[in-house]
């Protein structure tokens, strides 16, 4: 059964920036804004090598993210587990989703092994 319902998917598709939370194996939190795309019921995010978020993801695959608006006060919180892709057919498919969504990625494209892509598989969602 899909975790994200129609209303939640519509909210995700209407936005492109979230606050993305990771935690180290010692549970030290780290939150950063990132752009994302949607693939079915999953959330796709490109990350850079050498970042705290990638180090945390390699230690602890559990993540959270929030997409919200101040006026009107609406938002979506998603908890999930991430998968990391660096090469291969699935990597290339996810990369194309990001290129299709974001002009700035198309202007400065990259390929396999240059920037990991993560897929967040939601386990819980709360919308308000």
Query: 35-60: per-residue pLDDT in tens?
Result: 999 999 999 999 999 999 999 999 99
Per the structure, the complete domain to which residue 107 belongs is given by: 6-127
Does a structural domain hold residue 35? yes
Pinpoint the alpha helices (H) of the chain: 6-13, 52-59, 89-101, 103-107
The domain spanning residue 102 has which CATH number?
A: 2.30.110.10
Asked if 41 contacts 4 with a C-beta cutoff of 8 angstroms, the reply is yes
Report pLDDT for 126.
Answer: 97
In angstroms, the CA 36 to CA 17 distance is 6
List pLDDT tens digits, range 81-115: 999 999 999 999 999 999 999 999 999 999 899 99
**How far apart are the C-alpha atoms of 121 and 49, rounded to whole Å?**
21
Tell me if 1 is assigned to some domain: no
- Nearest CA among 57, 66, 63, 126 for reference residue 85: 57
Residue 90 lies in a domain: yes
Stated pTM of the model? 0.94
In a domain, 102, yes or no: yes
The mean per-residue pLDDT over the stretch 10-30 comes to 97
Q: CA-CA distance, 3 to 123, in Å (whole number)?
A: 6
Number of folded domains in the chain?
Answer: 1
């Amino acid at each position: 059964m899909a975790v994200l319902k129609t209303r939640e998917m519509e909210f995700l598709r209407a936005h492109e920036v979230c606050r993305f939370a990771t935690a180290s194996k010692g549970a030290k939190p780290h939150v950063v804004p990132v752009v994302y795309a949607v693939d079915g019921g999953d959330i796709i995010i490109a990350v850079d090598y050498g970042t705290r978020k990638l180090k945390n993801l390699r230690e602890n695959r559990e993540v959270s993210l929030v997409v919200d608006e101040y006026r009107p006060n609406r938002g979506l919180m998603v908890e999930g587990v991430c998968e990391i892709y660096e090469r291969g057919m699935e990597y290339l498919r996810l990369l194309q989703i990001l290129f299709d969504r974001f002009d700035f990625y198309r202007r400065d494209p990259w390929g396999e092994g240059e920037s990991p892509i993560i897929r967040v598989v939601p386990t819980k969602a709360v919308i308000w």
